[in-house]
Amino acid sequence: MQTIVFFIFAFIAVAAAINMLVQKHPIHSALSLIVVMAMLSIFYVMLYAEFLAVVQVIVYAGAIMVLFVFVIMLLNPREESHRTRQNRFLLVAGVPLGLCLMAEIVILLRRAPLGENETGRQLVGTTEAVGRVLFTDYLLPFEFISVLILIAILGAVVLTKREL
């Protein structure tokens, strides 16, 4: 049962991802990306990580992508011409990078313990587990990231308010 559901959603996710690349209009690409995000969140649910699933939707689909769509709507670009597609630089840099990424995934997958992990189920994705881990083991990185984001926010404010 679970496997069937997984494959259905996995198929949708991959299709949406491909669609994102293929679509010419930025807004269609952005929407496809949102579909991918939604599918990812379903995978999280299937992994018993409800908190992550929900946060995935709130943060990525609900906030970040809204901003993307907002900006796209604001600029209202036309359909992308084919020019960028034929950029040689993309070919030269993109293919090796893609291969690297692929290799990484393969290595990671090979290292990862396959099969169901009953103990991991309860511990990884719940709100409590995430909170506990964040505020104990990973407190320092967590705080660092907060400061980093704060700096980014300040930077954004300064950039937009430059004319004042």
Partner 1 sequence: MSEFSSFLLGTTIKCIVVIAVLIGAVAYTTWLERKVVAHLQIRWGPSRVGWHGLLQPIADVLKLLLKEDMTPGQASKFLYVLAPLIAFVPAALSITVIPFGNVAHFGSQTVRFQITDLNVGILFIFAVTSVGVYGVALGGWASNNKYSLMGGLRSSAQMISYELSLGLSVVSVLLVTGTLSLGQIVDLQGGRWFGIIPKWNIFVFPLFISFFTYFVSAIAETNRLPFDLPEAENELVAGFHTEYSSMKFGMFFLTEYINMITVSAIATTLFFGGWHGPTFGPLWLRGILPLFWFVSKIVAFLLFYIWTRGTLPRFRYDQLMAFGWKFLVPLSLANVVLTSLVVAWRA
Binding site for partner 1 (CB under 8 A): 27, 31, 34, 38, 41, 50-51, 53-55, 57-58, 61-63, 66-67, 69-70, 73-74, 76, 126-127
Q: Give whichever of 17 and 129 is closer to partner 1, judged by the CB atom.
A: 129
Smallest distance from partner 1 to CB 97, Å = 30
Rounded to whole angstroms, the Cα distance separating 4 from 46 reads 12
Smallest distance from partner 1 to CB 108, Å = 27
Q: Give whichever of 90 and 135 is closer to partner 1, judged by the CB atom.
A: 135
Smallest distance from partner 1 to CB 23, Å = 11
Q: Give whichever of 73 and 95 is closer to partner 1, judged by the CB atom.
A: 73
Rounded to whole angstroms, the Cα distance separating 116 from 57 reads 25
Q: Give whichever of 79 and 104 is closer to partner 1, judged by the CB atom.
A: 79
Vertex 95: Cα angle to 93 and 101 (nearest 5): 100
The residues near 142 (Cβ < 8 Å, ≥ 6 apart) are 134, 135
